[in-house]
């Protein structure tokens, strides 16, 4: 049986549903097979909507729909209290809400999806963090937006979903230098391949550090690598290495039931 979604134990709380969904269990055909949830891909829009409906039903919100932002590797956070249509999605890379039955999600294909819950105040967030967003402050901005609705740092739980692993995250000297220029101690999140002599970036550990540095002590990460697990995940970098022009997107979503 193919894996349909991953869940994090710390987020599996009464009154909430979530999932870090894989590429399996949908209706899309090659090369987007099968649970492609990205309208920005070249996939048939009907198939993408059907896939989103599958995610909606899986999360137990039969009369709800999923909202995702128009992601652009920014540090912009949207506070949402109602649904929008996919073609009118506001630009941003995180959504925060305290509205019941409003499913919020982000799309990824190597970048890190992060889901947040404050179970006491019933506030949730979904964040898309590529390296630009993580370095620039998308995580801190998400936390600030949750706090603006009443969330407390001590109560916020965060989980990072499947993303590109350090083994596959090879970077050039310019990439490395951007981090060092911001803070020399960020060198701790890089390792050097002894064969290629190139740096590899540990995005998962960097995000965990960022979250804890921002005051979120309850932060964890799932270990799956999007590049290495082709049967489970879409991967922009893997498709690029295979000279494939387009790619699907998996969704990570959360809702207050």
* Beta strands 16-21 and 5-6, pairing class: antiparallel
Reference 105, options 133, 66, 71, 160; nearest CA is 66
Peptide bond between residue 34 and the one before it cis (omega within 30 degrees of 0): yes
Tokens found for residue 200: 């590899």
Claim: this prediction has a pTM higher than 0.85: yes
pLDDT of residue 4: 93
* H helix or E strand, kind and range, residue 239: helix 236-241
pLDDT of residue 138: 98
* H helix or E strand, kind and range, residue 19: strand 16-21
CB-based contacts of 226, cutoff 8 Å, min separation 6: 108, 109, 110, 162, 163, 164, 233, 234, 235, 238, 250
Distance in angstroms between the alpha carbons of the first and the last residue of the chain = 28
Q: Which parts of the chain sit beneath pLDDT 50? A: none
Number of H helices and E strands in the chain, helices first, is 6, 14
pLDDT of residue 186: 98
What 3 state SS string does 176-208 have?
HHHHHHHCHHHHHHEEECCCCCCEEECHHHHHH
Reference 255, options 6, 62, 3; nearest CA is 62
d(C-alpha 94, C-alpha 71), whole Å: 8
Q: Which CATH class is domain 7-256?
A: alpha beta
Q: Which residues share a beta bridge with 157?
A: 117, 218
* Beta strands 170-171 and 157-160, pairing class: unpaired
Largest CA distance in the chain: 54
Reference 218, options 152, 135, 170; nearest CA is 152
Rg (CA), the chain: 17
Q: Which residue has the tokens 């960097």?
A: 206
Domain boundaries, the chain: 7-256
């Amino acid at each position: 049986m193919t894996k349909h979604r991953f869940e994090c134990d710390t987020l599996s709380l009464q009154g909430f549903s979530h999932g870090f969904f894989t590429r399996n269990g949908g209706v899309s055909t090659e090369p987007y097979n099968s649970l492609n949830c990205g309208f920005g891909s070249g996939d048939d829009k009907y198939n993408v909507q059907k896939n989103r409906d599958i995610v909606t039903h899986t999360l137990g919100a039969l009369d709800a729909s999923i909202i995702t932002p128009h992601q652009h590797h920014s540090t912009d956070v949207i506070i949402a209290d109602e649904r929008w249509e996919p073609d009118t999605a506001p630009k941003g890379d995180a959504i925060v809400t305290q509205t019941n039955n409003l499913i919020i999600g982000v799309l990824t294909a190597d970048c890190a999806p992060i889901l947040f819950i404050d179970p006491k105040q019933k506030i949730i967030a979904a964040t898309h963090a590529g390296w630009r967003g993580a370095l620039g402050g998308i995580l801190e901005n998400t936390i600030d937006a949750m706090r603006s609705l009443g969330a407390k740092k001590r109560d916020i739980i965060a989980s990072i979903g499947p993303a590109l692993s350090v083994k596959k995250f090879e970077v050039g000297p310019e990439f490395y230098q951007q981090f060092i220029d911001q803070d020399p101690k960020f060198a701790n999140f890089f390792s050097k391949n002894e064969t290629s002599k190139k740096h590899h970036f540990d995005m998962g550990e960097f995000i965990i550090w960022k979250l804890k540095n921002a005051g979120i002590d309850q932060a964890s990460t799932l270990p799956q690598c999007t590049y290495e697990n082709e049967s489970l995940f879409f991967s922009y970098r893997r498709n690029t290495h295979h000279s494939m022009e387009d790619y699907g997107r998996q969704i990570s979503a959360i809702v207050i039931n």
